[in-house]
Structure 1
Amino acid sequence: MTRARLALLGLIALTLAALVFAWSLMGSATVTQETSFTIPAGASVSAVAEKLEAEGLVSSASGFVLQARIFGSDAPIQAGEFLLAPGMSQGDILSAFQSGDVIRRFVTIPEGMPSILVWERLMAEELLSGEVPVPPEGSILPDTYDFERGQSREALVERMQAAMDTALAEEWAGRAPDIAVDTMRDALILASIVEKETGKPEERRMVAGLYSNRVKTGMLLQADPTIIYPITKGKPLGRRIRQSEISAVNGYNTYTRVGLPEGPITNPGRESIAAVLDPAKTSALFMVADGTGGHWFADTLEQHNANVAKWYAIRRERGEM
């Protein structure tokens, strides 16, 4: 065997020994159960490694840093909350941090939830941060939104409002001809009434058609939710409406005010907005509850009075009158 060959073999042996020694210094991951791990914004690899060791998720902070420098990619570590699973190697953990695959959490705003209740829901979410005022009524698009731990409430509200602006503009662009409203703002206001007046999705366009007819003919809308809104700001009234409240004169009560209220009375969903911008073609001017969560519709007062009599009979049968 030549000297050169012996020297090469010796170099290989030394290299292997050095790698084994380096590998032994790297330590290992010690994740034994699903664990959430949060990386603050601006944290360095060394700071993250020390936090991993302090929380018992790797055996050596310096070993994690060494492995990151030798085997890691050039991608930076991302801030956020990560889910670490049992069996993950240090390389797996580093890849997760570099990919930004953070834990996403969700908050749902149902259709027709008024802004005061949206605010209460966001303020009750402990994983959000910061203060936020009650959003303007009608500015939030009902939907399910994802967020990260520590995200500001302000940023989440801005995203909800941007979603409403986009949805309203898209629906307005496809509006039917000869609708009852002239502006996107008025469409939003009328959609908020439609949202509160029916719990049945299949009725939305019919309810929108009825109220569109009233707007066009100058009739009082006489929508009960517009009486309640200035009293509770959209929260449930919890009792029967009083006669004094029906006759109250304010910017919302459509029993004493001709035309639309001065503003939305809730946050309408996209389907209610779409219904107002493409209402059912109907001659209906009246509606009353039918006892199933829906309504009977009528073109004339005579027909309406007959429907009211049927509704009263149902209520008497239920012991409500």
Structure 2
Amino acid sequence: MMSRRGCIAVSALAAALALVLWFVLGGWFGSGPLDKPRNFIVPNGAPLAVVADRLQAQGVIKSATTFRLGARVFGGGGGIKAGEFAIPAHASASRVLSIISSDEIIRRFVMVPEGMPSIMVKERLMAQPTLTGDIATPMEGSVLPDSYAFEKGEPRQAVLRRMQAAMSRTLKELWAKRAPNLVVKTPEQALILASIVEKETGKPSERKMVAGLYSNRLKVGMLLQADPTIIYPITKGKALGRRILQSEIQAVNDYNTYTMVGLPKHPITNPGRDSIAAVLNPAKTSALYMVADGSGGHAFATTLPEHNRNVAKWFAIRRARGEI
């Protein structure tokens, strides 16, 4: 027969086992208190104790103490990660730890398309409600068009710095791979010419040809006569929304390539990687002229008579469409 002391010991062990069972089945693996999905932010560098307290305060878990204990026992030593996480409704403490220890971070993106001017880059960043702080309009040509991930609450200036750092890296990389004997002599000149190429053609297959044409014009001292350089001082790169006026064609400023020989003083937009690459490795062509061909591209010509024939074809297309 078991002694009284033995009975007490067995009872204590049973109680301990029951407590462990409750913890395992209920407090750790059981359904959590969150009644609907919500996002939870783990601050950068926050210790587990602080995160556990925040989880409890926001109703994600029942007990910060249980969560800390469970993390030590079942956590596996992986550690929690900073970022924003999506927590499903009624997630167990075990599931919550798994989520904030994983790479399931919510990725937010802002996209800068090729040829977006800096004034619109600023507008796009300012329109992101989860970013913070103000920014000045960045220098034209300083932002590399791409998609950029950001975290909720991140400063806009930090995102902008990543965009500008990406442009600096890309320009340096492509400049190192440039063809010999280019008409552009500096990375800055390449960026300016690439911004014109970006605006002059929306057809990727034409970029090198357009770059070659403008390179030829620069070599022989011809006016570039690029319409986007007329528009930029008027709208800062936004769409003009009407036909260009004769007075605007004749305007003298730092950008208008109808009244100045050579490149504008600064870029007229933020060119993409492919336009920069096209300028640094342009097509080998003798073309000096181009005009729209009615299909979204251009007809290229070496001589003025050939160009005039292409222009006549373009006007015939426009008349057939009822545009003139």
Q: Same fold (TM over 0.5)?
A: yes
For residue 115 of structure 1, what is the aligned residue in structure 2? 118
Deviation string, structure 1 residues 153-189 (Cα, Å, up to 9, x no partner): 1111111111111111111111111221111100000
One-letter identity of the residue aligned with 2:146: D
Deviation for aligned residue 1:311: 1.1
One-letter identity of the residue aligned with 1:238: G
Match of 1:36, SS state, is strand
Alignment of 1:60-79 (within 5 A): 60-73=63-76, 77-79=80-82
Deviation for aligned residue 1:272: 0.4
**Structure 2 stretches of 5 or more lacking a match?**
none
Deviation string, structure 1 residues 66-85 (Cα, Å, up to 9, x no partner): 42344335555444311113
Deviation string, structure 1 residues 42-75 (Cα, Å, up to 9, x no partner): 6554443344344432233443234234433555
One-letter identity of the residue aligned with 2:319: R
Q: In the aligned structure 1, how far is the partner of 2:78 from the partner of 2:158?
A: 26
Deviation string, structure 1 residues 76-111 (Cα, Å, up to 9, x no partner): 544431111356421221232234642111111110
Equivalent pair of 1:116/1:134 in contact (CA under 8 Å):
yes
Identity, in percent, stands at 60
Q: In the aligned structure 2, how far is the partner of 1:152 from the partner of 1:289?
A: 43
For residue 165 of structure 1, what is the aligned residue in structure 2? 168
One-letter identity of the residue aligned with 2:286: S
For residue 147 of structure 2, what is the aligned residue in structure 1? 144
More displaced 10-residue stretch of structure 1: 99-108 or 171-180: 99-108
Q: In the aligned structure 2, how far is the partner of 1:285 from the partner of 1:319?
A: 29
For residue 225 of structure 1, what is the aligned residue in structure 2? 228
For residue 210 of structure 2, what is the aligned residue in structure 1? 207
TM normalised by structure 1 equals 0.90
Structure 1 residues 142, 25: closer, same or farther in 2, change over 3 A?
closer
TM normalised by structure 2 equals 0.89
Equivalent pair of 1:68/1:94 in contact (CA under 8 Å):
yes
For residue 16 of structure 1, what is the aligned residue in structure 2? 17
Equivalent pair of 1:33/1:86 in contact (CA under 8 Å):
yes
Over aligned residues, Cα RMSD in angstroms? 2.5
Equivalent pair of 1:28/1:60 in contact (CA under 8 Å):
no
Match of 1:177, SS state, is coil
Deviation for aligned residue 1:13: 3.7
One-letter identity of the residue aligned with 1:300: T
Deviation string, structure 1 residues 13-42 (Cα, Å, up to 9, x no partner): 454244246556667523455431223456
For residue 125 of structure 1, what is the aligned residue in structure 2? 128
Equivalent pair of 1:79/1:100 in contact (CA under 8 Å):
no
Structure 1 residues 13, 197: closer, same or farther in 2, change over 3 A?
same
